[in-house]
Amino acid sequence: MTGGGMMGAAGFDPEALGIAGAGNPDAGARIISPSVKLSESPAVGVHPTFTVIEPAEARAVIGYGDGTIRGIGLVLDGAQPSVLAQIAATPITAAVDIGGAGVLIGTDGGELLRLGGSDIVKLAETGGPWIGEIAVHSGKGLRAFAAAKALTVLDAGGAVVFEAADHPSTVAGLSFSPDGTRVAAAHYGGVSVWKLTEPDHKPVRLDWHGSHTAVSWSPNGQFIVSAMQDKEMHCWRWKDRTGMRMSGYPSKIRAIAWTADGQYVAASGADTVTSWDCSGKGPSGKPPLEFGYVYDGVVRQVAAHPADHVVAGGYSDGTVLIGAIEQETAMIARPASGHAVTGLAWTADGGTLVATDESGAVAVMRILEPVVS
C-alpha cells in the first residue's frame, strides 16, 4: 500500500473485551460485550440490496432482491421487521430523502420511487436503464440520480434542474459537495464534477485510469475520494486537483465512509477496517490506521459514526466490529453469522447501529457506553 503500506492489525482478544456468547446463534436481545446490546431478526432467505436509517420515522428501511421493502422500528428493543411495501422491480439503491423524511429508491426497472410511511410514489423514470445511484442534499432540497451515462438532478418539487448525459461510461457513484453547488459522478477514467448553477459549463474532470465504482465528497469540502475496481482508492484535493493514490487492498472496495469532520475516510476491502488521515494536505505519505482481527474474513461494509472518530465494519462472515480510529482498538458488536454483511447504518445520535447480511437478517445494536475513551 502506498504511503507506508498496511500496518499490522491491533491486537484483538474477544475474551479480554468480555465478549459473552460470541458465535451463539440464539435469537433475541443479549449483551455480547460491555458496551453493546444486540437484538436480531431471523433470516428471510432473500439478499438485501440497501439499508438506510429514516430519522423522521425512527426506523431502518431495508430493500430486498424480491422487491420487498421492510422497516424495523428503532425505539423499542426487540422490534421485528415488517413489510412496508412490495414493488414489481428489484430495488437497487436508496437514500434518505430531503429532511430525513421518506426514502428514495432506484430500481432495475428505471424508476425513482419515494417511500413515505408505507406509500410508494413514482418521482421519475428513465424508460429503460436502471437507476443505480442516488444522492440527496437536504440543505438545497436536491435529489440526484444516475441511469447508465446520464445524471439528473431534481428539486424538492420534482422538477428537473440539471441534466448531464455525456459521461464516458455508466455512472457508478454520486456525491454532492457539502454546499450543494456541485455534484461529483464516478465513471471509467475518473470523476466528473458538475457545477449545478451553470448547466452549460464543462465539468471538471478528475482523471485517473481505471474503473471508478464509488465517490464521496468529504464533509469539509476539501477532498473527493473514489473507490476503484482495481482494489484501490484515489483521492483528489479539491482546491488544486492534486491526486493521491491509496492502494494495497486485497479485495474490491465496496464501501467508503467519512467521519463527520472530514479528517478520516474509512474503507472496506481488507481484513481490517482501514482509515486514512486526510488532515492537512491529505493522506499522501501517511499509513492507514487499522483495527480488527486478521483472519480469513474481509471487511465488506463500513459506516462512520455521526460525531466521533469511530467506524463500524461489517465482515464477510457476518461479524460487525466497532472501533476507535486513533486508538486502533475495537469491540465485537455482532458475532459471526456465516453470512456476509450487506449494509451498515448509524442513527443520527450515534446510539444505534443497524446491520443486514446476505441471509436477510437484521441486527440492531444499541451502544451502551462511549466507544472512544
DSSP 179-225: TSSEEEEEEEEEEEEEETT-TTSPPEEEEEEEEEEEEEE-TTSSEEE
CB under 8 Å to 350, separation ≥6 — which residues? 305, 306, 307, 308, 310, 367
Indicate whether 22 pLDDT > 60.
Answer: no
Per-residue pLDDT, 35: 84
> pLDDT, tens digit, for every residue of 304-315?
999 999 999 999
Average pLDDT over residues 286-297: 83
Would you call 60 helix, strand, or coil by DSSP?
strand
* pLDDT tens sequence across 227-258: 999 999 999 999 999 999 999 999 999 999 99
Does residue 337 belong to any structural domain of this protein?
yes
The answer to whether residue 169 sits within a structural domain is yes
What is the pLDDT of the chain when averaged over all its residues?
90
For the cut 60, the answer to whether the pLDDT of residue 44 exceeds it is yes
Domain contains 156: yes
User: What is residue 18's predicted lDDT score, i.e. its pLDDT?
Assistant: 28
Q: What's the pLDDT at 34?
A: 58
Q: Please give, one letter per residue, the 3-state secondary structure of 138-158.
A: CCCCEEEEEECCEEEEEECCC
In the block, cell 440539471 appears at 162
- Asked if residue 10 belongs to a domain, the reply is no
Edge-to-edge strands, sheet with 289-291: 256-258, 264-267, 273-277, 289-291
Q: For residue 200, what pLDDT is reported?
A: 80
Give the mean model confidence (pLDDT) for residues 156-169.
Answer: 95
In the predicted model, what is the mean pLDDT of residues 284-291? Answer: 94
What's the confidence (pLDDT) of residue 166? 85
Closest CA to 305 of 254, 259, 368: 259
pLDDT for 6 equals 33
Tell me the Ramachandran region of residue 102: left when phi exceeds 0, alpha when psi lies from -120 to 50, beta otherwise.
Answer: left
Asked whether residue 17 is assigned to any structural domain, the reply reads: no
For the ranges 71-80, 129-138, 148-157, which has the lowest average pLDDT? 71-80
End-to-end CA distance of the chain: 29
* pLDDT band of 295, cuts 50, 70, 90: low
280 pLDDT higher than 50: yes
- From the number of C-beta atoms within 10 Å of its C-beta (0-12, 13-18, 19+), residue 127 rates as exposed
Structural domain contains residue 19: no
Cβ neighbours around 44 below 10 Å, total: 17
| CATH number (domain holding residue 144) | 2.130.10.10
Average pLDDT (126-132) is 95
Which cell numbers in the block locate residue 198? 451553470
The widest CA-to-CA distance across the chain, in whole angstroms, is: 60
- Number of neighbours of residue 209 by Cβ within 10 angstroms: 11
pLDDT of 321 higher than 60? yes
- The reply to whether 242 falls in a domain is yes
Band of residue 328 on the pLDDT scale cut at 50, 70, 90: confident
- Residue where the block lists cell 493514490: 245
Q: Over range 318-332, report the average pLDDT.
A: 92
Give the mean pLDDT of 59-77.
Answer: 96
Do the beta carbons of residue 50 and residue 91 sit within 8 Å?
Answer: yes
Q: What is the pLDDT of residue 372?
A: 67
Q: Any residues with CB less than 8 A from the CB of 43 and at least 6 apart, and which?
A: 339, 359, 360, 361
* pLDDT tier at 12, thresholds 50, 70, 90: very low
pLDDT in tens, 175-204: 999 999 999 999 999 999 999 988 788 999
**What is the domain extent for residue 262?**
30-367
Position 31 pLDDT exceeds 60:
no
Whether the per-residue pLDDT at 281 is higher than 50: the answer is yes
> d(Cα 125, Cα 144) in Å, to the nearest integer?
13
CA 91, 69, 81, 216 dihedral sign is positive
pLDDT digit string, tens, across residues 94-126: 999 999 999 999 999 999 999 999 999 999 999
Q: What is the pTM of this model?
A: 0.90
Structural domains of the chain, count? 1
Q: What percent of the chain clears pLDDT 70, i.e. is strictly above it?
A: 89
Residue 60 is assigned to a structural domain of this protein: yes
